Structure 1
Amino acid sequence: MEFTGGGRLEVRITPSDVGKRVSVRRLSDAGAPGDRFTDTVGVLTSWDAGVLLVTRRSGEAVRIAESSLVGAKVVPAAPARRRGPAAGFGELARVQARGWPPVESEPLGEWTLRAAGGFTRRANSALPLGDPGLPLDAALDRVRAWYAARGLPAYLQAATGAEGTQERLCAALEERGWLREVTAEVRIGGLAPLADLASPADLVPSADLAGLAPDASGAARVTLSREPDEDWFRRYRRCAEPGPEVRAVVTGGPSVWFATVPGTGGPDRAPDPVGGPADGPTTGGPADGGPAAIGRCVIDGRWAGFMAVEVDPARRRQGLATAVMAALARQALAEGASAAWLQVETDNAPARALHDRLGFTIHHHYHHFRAPGSGT
C-alpha cells in the first residue's frame, strides 16, 4: 500500500480503473473482531453509487463502501510465478476445451455454444473467449434460447484469477441473477517430474489384461489404451450408463489415452474422487467388481491434460492415483508434451492435496453460472 509524505495511506484509484487489478484497504465493519483494517486484492469490476465491487482470484465478489476506503492502488495484473510452465489464460482455456469436446457446438461471435446431451457442465455451457458480437444482454438471451431449444439448462463458463480472465463478466452475470453453481481450480505443472514417478515395471503396453492383478509387491500395473473398455467405465463416476454422448465426449480430443489399474475382482464400491472432471453430481459404484484405478489424458501440442483419475476406496493410500498419472505422463512425454494441466473442484480436498504433492500450482479458477429460471 502506498504512503504519502506524511505517512498516511492514500486512495489512488478512481472509477476509471474498473477492469484493473487493485489492492484496497478499508476500515473493518464496526464491532468486527480482529484488526481495524481489512485488505482485499482483486479486479475492480464496478464502482457505482458509492460502492466498489472487487472480484478476488477465487471468484468471490467483495462489496466495499467508498466511504470505508483507507488506501487503494492499482497493482500488477498477475503475481510473478516461481515454478511451473509459462501459460496464458487464452491458450489454456482453448486447450481445455479441445480436451473435453462437446457433441454439438455453434459460434456466437467469439463465444462458443456447446452441448452434449447434458453430460457435464463443461460440455454443455457457453464458452466466452472474446466478443459475442452483440450487447451482453442480447448475447445472454441467445445463450438461453439455444439451450432451451435443446431441453438443457443455460450455463456459461467464465474464469477469474489470471491476466485476461473474465472478472467483469462474472460480476455482470451475478448482477443479472445468474447463479454460480461450481468453482474449480485450473492447475498446471511440469510434465517430466510427474513422469519420473513411474516405474517401467508398472507399465503394461497391452490393454487386453483386464484380469491382471497387482504384483506380489503391491505395485500398480497400469495398462494404457486408446479406447476405454467397459471395465474402465465401471469405475468412471460421472454417469450410470455411458451412452453415445458420454462416449463421444470422453473419447474426443487430439490424442487421448486411458489408463487402468486392474482390480482383484472383489465387490465394487463408490469411487474415490481424486481428480475427475469438475462437473457436478457423481454416481455410486456398480454392484460388481471394477478396476482399482483409472485415468484419462489428452495430449495437445505441449500440453497434457489429466482427467477422470479415480481410485477404489479399498485401495486408497497405495499410490494408485500417482501411478496412473505418472504412466500417462510418460506417454505424453513420448508424444512431445512438456507441460501438464488439470482441473479440480475447490471442495475436493483429497484431490487438491494430491495435486499439491505432485507439484501442480493454481493458474486460475473457472466458474459455471446457470441462468435464472433455467432448469437443472
Structure 2
Amino acid sequence: MSVRRVAEFADGRPVFRDVIGVLTSWDDRGLTVEPRSGGPVSFDERLLVAGKVVPLFPARRAPLPGVSPVELQRIAARGWPAVEQEPLGEWTLRASAGFTRRANSVQALGDPGVPLPEALAAVRRWYAARGLPAWVEVVTPGAPEDLRAELDRLGAAYAPTLVRVAELAPLSRTGDKAARDRVRLARTAGPDWTSLYRRVTGEPAVEEAARAVLHGGPSVWFATVHDTWGCGTEGDDTPPVLAIGRCVIDGPWACFGAVEVAPWARRRGLATAVMAVLAARAAEEGATAGYLQVEAENDGAIALYDGMGFETSHTYHYARLPEA
C-alpha cells in the first residue's frame, strides 16, 4: 500500500507524509505499515488521509548465490529455530516439544568433540530426558565421514528430504494475477492462518512450541488467502481460509514452507499465488534466491515445485535412533 497520513502539525496546519509498504494490520489500535526498509510505521486511524494498492517492487533476476549444502542447512536452521538448543561439540541438539523433526533433531555438522559412539549415546540421553525420539540430521558432505556407518550399526531408520532451490525473480511472477491479488501478508500467524495449518495438534505444550518456531527467524512473513470466492459448502463449518504459506528471509535466501491449500480449493493456483507473493516480498528485502525442504516421497509437492522452477540442491536424511 501507499498510505498518506497526518504526521504532525506545524503552525496549526497538518504535515502529510507517505509510507509505502505492506499493510500488516488495521484494527481498533490503528494502522501498521511495514516499509521496505526500517521499522514498522503505526498511527491512529483518524490520521489516515488516503491509501491505494501498489504492486510490490519488481524482483530483479540474479543467479543463485554460491552456497554449500552445509551452509544452506545452517541457514535453514536459523529459519526454523528450535525452542531449546544445546551444543555438543560442533553439533547442535534441538528440541521443541516434538513439533517437527527439524526442530527436534540434532544437527550433526562437524565434529561432536567425542567419539561417535559416545556422541550418539549422549544424543539418546538428551532426547530421552525430554520424552522425545532421537533424530539425527545427516548431511553428506558435512556430517562426520563415519556417522552413517555408526548409525547403520545401531539400526537407525532413515527418512530422506530434498532441499530445492530457485531464483526469486521468475518465481515472483508465476501464477494468475487475480489469485496473487487475493494474498494477504502479515507478520504473525493469527487464528485464521493456523486454522488451515495441518500440524496443529491441540496439545498446549506443542502449540506453544509451534508458535515460537513459526515466528522465529530473521524476517518472517505469513501469507493467507481468504474464502472470498465461496469455495466452501454453504452451511458447513469449514474454515474461511483457502490457502496459507510462510517465508523467512535471511540475507539473499528466502525459505518457503507451511504451504497449505484447503481440499475444496485445490487446483485453482492458490499455492502458486502464495509462493509468488511471498517471493516478491522477499525480493523487496533484498533476497534473490529461495529454498524449501520437501520429503523425498511427496510426489505431489515435488511436481508442484518443479512447475515453479525449483531444482534439487542436495538430499539429507533424518535418521531415527532406536531406543536404548
Match of 1:104 in 2: 84
2: CA distance, partners of 1:194 / 1:97: 23
Matches within 5 A, 1:52-201: 84-160=64-140, 163-164=141-142, 168-180=146-158, 182-197=159-174
Offset of 1:265 from its aligned partner? 7.2
Offset of 1:367 from its aligned partner? 1.3
Moved more, 329-338 or 83-92: 83-92
Residues 312-349 of structure 1 show CA distances to partners (whole Å, capped at 9, x for unaligned) of 12222111111000000000000000011001111111
For the residue of structure 2 that corresponds to 1:260, the secondary structure is strand
Match of 2:225 in 1: 261
Runs of 4+ in 1 over 6 A off after TM superposition: none
TM-score, reference length from structure 2: 0.74
Offset of 1:189 from its aligned partner? 1.0
For the residue of structure 1 that corresponds to 2:241, the secondary structure is coil
For the residue of structure 1 that corresponds to 2:81, the secondary structure is coil
2: CA distance, partners of 1:167 / 1:364: 17
Q: 1:372 to 1:360 in 2, by over 3 A?
A: same
Match of 1:235 in 2: 196
Residues 269-289 of structure 1 show CA distances to partners (whole Å, capped at 9, x for unaligned) of xxxxxxxxxxxxxxxxx9532
CA contact (8 A) 1:183 1:345 kept: yes
CA contact (8 A) 2:201 2:207 kept: no
Larger RCO: 1 or 2 (CA < 8 Å, sep 6+): 2
Moved more, 231-240 or 301-310: 231-240
Residues 251-295 of structure 1 show CA distances to partners (whole Å, capped at 9, x for unaligned) of 111100000011237359xxxxxxxxxxxxxxxxx9532411100
The total of aligned residue pairs comes to 256
1: CA distance, partners of 2:150 / 2:116: 9
For the residue of structure 2 that corresponds to 1:352, the secondary structure is helix
For the residue of structure 2 that corresponds to 1:119, the secondary structure is coil
Residues 5-28 of structure 1 show CA distances to partners (whole Å, capped at 9, x for unaligned) of xxxxxxxxxxxxxxxxxxxxxxxx
For the residue of structure 2 that corresponds to 1:112, the secondary structure is strand
1: CA distance, partners of 2:144 / 2:166: 23
Q: 1:121 to 1:267 in 2, by over 3 A?
A: farther
2: CA distance, partners of 1:289 / 1:342: 26
2: CA distance, partners of 1:167 / 1:239: 37
Offset of 1:175 from its aligned partner? 2.0
Offset of 1:177 from its aligned partner? 1.3
Offset of 1:140 from its aligned partner? 0.6
Moved more, 105-114 or 315-324: 315-324
For the residue of structure 1 that corresponds to 2:188, the secondary structure is coil
Q: Quick one: which amino acid aligns to residue 244 of structure 1?
A: E
CA contact (8 A) 1:159 1:167 kept: no
2: CA distance, partners of 1:93 / 1:184: 12
Offset of 1:372 from its aligned partner? 1.3
- Structure 2 residues without counterparts, runs of 5 or longer: 1-62
Residues 70-121 of structure 1 show CA distances to partners (whole Å, capped at 9, x for unaligned) of xxxxxxxxxxxxx854321121011100111110000000000000011111
